[in-house]
Amino acid sequence: MSQDQKASLPLYDHLPPFLADDPAPLTLSERRELLDRYYPDYRSEGKTTLRVGPNKGQIIPEEVASILETRSRLLHPVKVEKPAVPDMDVDLLIIGGGGAGITAALFARETGASVLVATKLRIGDSNTVMAEGGIQVALGDDDSPAQHFKDAFRGGHFTGDPHLLSVLVKEGPEVISWLVRKGVLFDRDVHGGLALRKGGGTTRPRLISAKDYTGLELVRVLKEDLLNSGVPLLEFSPAVELLEGPDGSCAGAVLLDVDSGKLRWVKAKSVLLATGGAGRLHIGGFATSNHFGATGDGLALAYRMGAPLVHMESFQYHPTGVIYPSEMAGMLITEAVRGAGAKLYNKSGKRFVNELETRDVVAAAIIRECSEGRGVKTPAGHYGVYLDLSSIDREMGEGTVARRFPNILKLMSKHEVDCSTQPILVYPTLHYQNGGISSDVQGHSGVAYLSVAGETSGGLHGKNRLMGNSLLEVLVFGHRVGVNASREALARNPFSWSEVGFGHAARFEKALEAEFHGVDRPEGPLLFPDYRRKPSGENV
Amino acid sequence: MFQYEKPENARMIKVGINGKEWMVPEGLTMVQAMWYTGHEVIHGIGCLGGVCGACAAVYRMPGDFHLHNALACQTLVKEEMVFSLIPSFPSQRANYQIEAILDPKEELFKIYPESATCRNCNACTEVCPQGIDVRDAVWRANFGDFKGVAEGTMSCVMCGLCVSRCIAEMAPHEIALYARRAYGSQELKFPDNLKHRLEKIESGEYDDELARLLSLSPETLKAECEVK
């Protein structure tokens, strides 16, 4: 951003005086009304009714329907023939190389199963690597797995699956100790214990972190171990279709080598989908904090095969995504800054919501301010509110922002904003897929020998997720489902390649044709968002 | 869509991408400039948030002999900048298991013997897009100050740009990863609060309470969890 452009922005030239006065607390009914009127999940615009598949009749965002009700890439543009023999034959195929996929692979290989990991970009490219804030794990003297359970269940508006949650809270400490033994450097307290911080919506300090590089730190370590493990890895190889075996079970997948365009047919006794989230669908036109590959591919693959989805209407819009500088739009400013005392102000410098309300309430309040004319306009024509971190240094001592949030400080300074003294303009950003493929505590989807783990799965968090529970989820369920899916693969009756096909894709296609009457449907899964400018000059 | 929109009144500037000239609006990152000009970027793109290290890039400015480096998702294009992505710089990674290493400081010279051959040119530090004092970290690793390595390199995104410049041909980011892991797994004491919690879980202390919560009717469970 050039200096003359910056000078024209009210953000730095005409800052209002920031008034510290606390906003009035919300009553239960005011909170409900705020959510109903402004939180994207509860608004009717941009929604559609699914017409095909296991969740037929349910109302979900149009963008999600647009990837679910899609045609198979094995049938379009031309039908592909199954080769005489598979290219590879393994016990367990793990699709996805983020936190859940890597964890699953490391534990799966210990069962003696032959494992293959396929991922769309590089191993580790995922939402996990971007996670800043931390991992929830109940370690405090005044804390317990049951307390963790209660906070998560309440935070999910009582819609989370209690059985999944009880596994999460009970197995959390064990998987964290696995990371510590691998040398993951979590912040320590003065006694050498893991330092615990408080996150939004929790009653106890329970967040462990590695400064604001928590996801990066654990991916660096786990990725190195996976690369050294001998598990075969196929990078730049997204799955374009699952394969069907005896009795409608899953029996492998077809991978696309994105460089050569060649398809690779993998026969597998068990398939674990760990494909991550869907922020790159830009639901409702929101910017996203998600990585480039977050296009919900696993949802499309599993749905076509008949796996039901749960809470698929529910997404988390993180309240504080950067909206200016606009080239950073969508990038997350962790909730931990509000925990540390950062404040939100509207155009006139007034606070308008308690910054420590749950994420959905804070997001709804920001959307309300901006849609009622109390937002700050950016040069690109968007609106946002001020997030001011300077109070953190004032209240907790000079240098606190630099010490606790070095990543945010570094990233903002690359764009000429010193966020320890200057406010950041923020607006909610599409952050997390709350729902997903329905599963039980072993990760079973509705399709035999097809398991799921991580963000692509649904049910655990219900309709709202608390900070720090998703990193714990990828670790706990990556471990658990990786082991379980391997064991089931090893115990599975053998079947031949001649019993394997993609009849499910043809059946889904038929259902699409019957419902959409010749209206062209896109191909799925999406694989990559396309931000290229069209030759006409129009944005894609 | 948000990813490369043109700010109002943005000036058009000349840039070179992979050796070809283009006009793009000011205010875009390198990756956004590639999208704007129709490039499909698959290798060289990851988190788009400056932490995954996929988008290492080199660039030059007119009239300046310096070769600059950057993360392409975080760096704005400038008038007459010429740049290319180098998304995957080959580097050597030792095959080890941290849990099995007995003397981590000695082991460093077995798995990364080249780490002792640093010639102090400081090119690694100058190239680092994260502003890490890489040369210092390499020397600290050599002297066994793994804590110092950990403190100095926490922001490493493993982009490998340091490898591209090292005249001793080492991979400083891999050496630092080893030193951090050795520090965390062997020098730091296993955290007490985690140890105690694991013992209690092992002894079944929480089983009854969790089983009780699971046995409640949805209404009762809700009522109990509602209380903060």
Give the residue from B186, B197, B219, B222 with the most A CB atoms within 10 Å of its CB, the best one to mutate: B197
How far apart (Å, rounded) are the C-alpha atoms in residues A435 and A477? 15
Query: For the range B167-173, what are the long-range contacts, defined as Cβ-Cβ under 8 Å and sequence gap of 24 or more?
Result: B167/B119, B167/B121, B167/B123, B168/B114, B168/B117, B168/B118, B168/B119, B169/B114, B170/B112, B170/B114, B170/B115, B170/B117, B170/B118, B170/B138, B171/B91, B171/B92, B171/B93, B171/B112, B172/B124, B172/B134, B172/B137, B172/B138, B173/B91, B173/B134
Predicted pLDDT of residue A2: 40
Contact across the interface for A139 and B97, Cβ inside 8 Å: no
pLDDT at A160 over 60: yes
**Rounded average pLDDT over A155-169:** 97
**Rounded average pLDDT over A428-434:** 97
On whether any CB of chain B is under 8 Å from the CB of A157, the answer is: no
**Rounded average pLDDT over A87-96:** 98
A140 chain-B contacts, CB cut-off 8 A:
193
Pairing of strands A207-208, A135-136: antiparallel
Chain A nearest-CA distance from B37, in A, is 7
On whether any CB of chain B is under 8 Å from the CB of A145, the answer is: yes
Sign for the pseudo-dihedral over CA of A380, A385, A388, A389:
negative
On whether any CB of chain B is under 8 Å from the CB of A169, the answer is: yes
Residue A536: Cβ within 10 Å count: 6
A269 is written with which tokens?
A: 């006794």
User: CB-side exposure of A360: number of CA atoms within 13 Å?
Assistant: 25
3-state secondary structure of B16: strand
Q: Annotated catalytic residue: which of A197, A304, A311, A338?
A: A338
A532 chain-B contacts, CB cut-off 8 A:
35-36, 38-40
**Rounded average pLDDT over A417-444:** 95
CB A265 within 8 A of CB A86: yes
Contact across the interface for B46 and A129, Cβ inside 8 Å: yes
Q: Strands (DSSP E) along A85-201, which ranges?
A: 88-95, 115-118, 135-136
**Rounded average pLDDT over A330-359:** 92
A292 chain-B contacts, CB cut-off 8 A:
45-48
B221 chain-A contacts, CB cut-off 8 A:
153, 158, 162
On whether any CB of chain B is under 8 Å from the CB of A330, the answer is: yes
Of A23, A28, A32, give the one whose Cα is nearest residue A360: A32
How far apart (Å, rounded) are the C-alpha atoms in residues A453 and A473? 8
Contact across the interface for A125 and B188, Cβ inside 8 Å: no
Give the residue from B47, B69, B89 with the most A CB atoms within 10 Å of its CB, the best one to mutate: B47
Of A427, A410, A444, A445, give the one whose Cα is nearest residue A309: A445
Pairing of strands A115-118, A88-95: parallel
User: Token match 């966020």: residue?
Assistant: A419
A305 is written with which tokens?
A: 């095969």
Contact across the interface for B51 and A125, Cβ inside 8 Å: no
Q: Report the residue from A1, A220, A531 with minimal CB separation from B35.
A: A531
Predicted pLDDT of residue A537: 53
Of A125, A126, A127, A119, give the one whose Cα is nearest residue A257: A119
Contact across the interface for A227 and B93, Cβ inside 8 Å: yes
Chain A nearest-CA distance from B187, in A, is 10
On whether any CB of chain B is under 8 Å from the CB of A181, the answer is: yes
A479-512 pLDDT, tens digit per residue, is: 999 999 999 999 999 999 999 999 999 999 999 9
Q: Which amino acid is at B132?
A: I
Of A167, A250, A267, A230, give the one whose Cα is nearest residue A481: A167
On whether any CB of chain B is under 8 Å from the CB of A432, the answer is: no
pLDDT at A4 over 80: no
Please say if A318 is a catalytic residue.
Answer: yes
On whether any CB of chain B is under 8 Å from the CB of A130, the answer is: yes
Exposure string for B50-75, b = 16+ CB within 10 A, e = fewer = bbbbbbbbbbbeeeeeeebbbbbbbb
How far apart (Å, rounded) are the C-alpha atoms in residues A97 and A478? 11
Residue B76: Cβ within 10 Å count: 20
On whether any CB of chain B is under 8 Å from the CB of A138, the answer is: yes
User: Token match 């910017």: residue?
Assistant: A287
Give residue A125's pLDDT band: very low, low, confident or very high (50, 70, 90): very high
**Angstrom distances, CA of residue A67 to CA of A62, A73, A279, A369, B38:** 9, 12, 12, 32, 24
Chain A nearest-CA distance from B29, in A, is 7
**Sequence-distant (≥ 6) Cβ neighbours of residue A215 within 8 angstroms:** A99, A127, A128, A129, A130, A131, A132, A471, B51
Name the percent of chain A lying above pLDDT 70: 97
Mean per-residue pLDDT of chain A = 94
Q: Nearest chain A Cα to B5, which residue? A: A380
**Rounded average pLDDT over A320-345:** 90
A37-56 pLDDT, tens digit per residue, is: 999 999 999 999 999 999 99
**Angstrom distances, CA of residue A400 to CA of A60, A406, A457, B29:** 42, 9, 37, 29
A390 is written with which tokens?
A: 């300077």
3-state secondary structure of B46: coil
Contact across the interface for A163 and B214, Cβ inside 8 Å: yes
**Chain A / chain B CB contacts < 8 angstroms:** 234
Give residue A329's pLDDT band: very low, low, confident or very high (50, 70, 90): confident
Residue that wins the pLDDT comparison between A135 and B7:
A135
Q: Annotated catalytic residue: which of A318, A359, A480, A487?
A: A318
Tens place of pLDDT per residue across chain B (228 aa) = 455 566 667 899 999 999 999 999 988 999 999 999 999 999 999 999 999 999 999 999 999 999 999 999 999 999 999 999 999 899 999 999 999 999 999 999 999 999 999 999 999 999 999 999 999 999 999 999 999 999 999 999 999 999 999 999 999 999 999 999 999 999 999 999 999 999 999 999 999 999 999 999 999 999 999 987
3-state secondary structure of B58: strand
Predicted pLDDT of residue B5: 62
A210 chain-B contacts, CB cut-off 8 A:
154
How far apart (Å, rounded) are the C-alpha atoms in residues A109 and B97? 15
Please say if A163 is a catalytic residue.
Answer: no
Mark which residues 196-225 of A lie under 8 Å from B by CB: 196, 203, 210-211, 213, 215-217, 220-221, 224-225
**Rounded average pLDDT over A234-254:** 98
Q: What is the DSSP string of B172-222?
A: HHHHHHHHHHHIIIIISPPPHHHHHHHHHHHTTTTHHHHHHHHHS-HHHHH
Q: Report the residue from A193, A410, A411 with minimal CB separation from B191.
A: A193
DSSP type of residue A195: P
Q: Nearest chain A Cα to B183, which residue? A: A183
Sign for the pseudo-dihedral over CA of A479, A482, A488, A490:
negative
A145-155 pLDDT, tens digit per residue, is: 999 999 999 99
Contact across the interface for B52 and A291, Cβ inside 8 Å: yes
Contact across the interface for B193 and A140, Cβ inside 8 Å: yes
Predicted pLDDT of residue A538: 47
How far apart (Å, rounded) are the C-alpha atoms in residues B164 and B90? 8
Residue A82: Cβ within 10 Å count: 16
In sequence order, the β-bridge partners of residue A344 are A387
A525 is written with which tokens?
A: 């899964």
In sequence order, the β-bridge partners of residue A383 are A377
Chain B nearest-CA distance from A500, in A, is 31
Predicted pLDDT of residue A533: 82
A228 chain-B contacts, CB cut-off 8 A:
93, 95-97
B98 chain-A contacts, CB cut-off 8 A:
182-183
B69 chain-A contacts, CB cut-off 8 A:
none
On whether any CB of chain B is under 8 Å from the CB of A110, the answer is: no
How far apart (Å, rounded) are the C-alpha atoms in residues A336 and A198? 8
